[in-house]
């Protein structure tokens, strides 16, 4: 089947892996450890997808730079203490294999660190499906387009035939800035209405829905 798209780029947290709640709890715990105001869930979840320092700046604006480094260290302590229990969303393992078999090229663009992404790619066993990946360690934080532009350039793909899939407005705005298409998933960090405001090509309520749409030739 002839597809409208060649390359599908996935966000990680909240899109492929069901990690939103754990990230939120880890941000809140880090703030408590440092005697900072504990952000409500909505504020903590809004920063998911950004690089860690940028995320902490949004959570607690006005701190000295050393304060954000302390927040990052505290966050990592709490996140790593429970990350082995986090699972991929239902249908991701089978869905990625099916998309690859259908001829799509697959990649990842994430706000995770390189060490963090490599760890979960190995632990989940799905790293074999991705031709390339980009993290905030190599590129500017979302919604800057650098991650997507580097991926499309490396793989020789046209942005117009590339789809960015993510659960946050950061992902969808990055796609807009890079000139790619965008699709949202409603089961992650950002509310459905916020995703709709970014006017993505489509919004899906499960990975199976996304997979079916892509395999239909979109």
Q: How many CB atoms lie within 10 A of CB 65?
A: 9
Q: Kindly name the residue from 6, 11, 83, 194 that is annotated as catalytic.
A: 11
- 57: helix, strand or coil: helix
Buried b (16+ CB within 10 A) or exposed e, 107-129: bbbbbbbeebbeebbeeeebeeb
Q: Kindly name the residue from 6, 13, 33, 171 that is annotated as catalytic.
A: 13
70 is catalytic: no
Tokens of 133: 């990946």
153 is catalytic: no
Q: How many CB atoms lie within 10 A of CB 145?
A: 22
Q: Which residues are catalytic?
A: 11, 13
């Amino acid at each position: 089947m002839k597809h409208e798209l060649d390359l599908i780029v996935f966000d990680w947290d909240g899109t492929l892996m069901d990690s939103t709640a754990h990230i939120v709890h880890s941000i809140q715990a880090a703030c408590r450890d440092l005697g900072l105001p504990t952000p409500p869930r909505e504020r903590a979840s809004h920063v998911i997808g950004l690089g860690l320092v940028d995320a902490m700046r949004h959570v607690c604006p006005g701190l000295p730079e050393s304060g954000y480094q302390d927040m990052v260290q505290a966050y990592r302590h709490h996140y790593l203490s429970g990350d082995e229990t986090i699972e991929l969303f239902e249908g991701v393992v089978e869905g990625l294999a099916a998309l690859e078999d259908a001829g799509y090229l697959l990649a990842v663009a994430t706000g995770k660190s390189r060490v963090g992404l490599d760890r979960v790619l190995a632990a989940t066993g799905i790293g074999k499906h991705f031709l390339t990946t980009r993290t905030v360690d190599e590129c500017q934080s979302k919604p800057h387009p650098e991650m997507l532009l580097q991926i499309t350039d490396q793989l020789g793909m046209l942005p117009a035939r590339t789809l960015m899939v993510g659960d946050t407005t950061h992902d969808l705005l990055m796609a807009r800035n890079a000139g790619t298409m965008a699709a949202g998933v409603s089961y992650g960090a950002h509310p459905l209405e916020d995703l709709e405001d970014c006017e993505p090509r489509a919004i899906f309520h499960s990975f199976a829905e996304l997979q079916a749409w892509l395999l239909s030739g979109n």
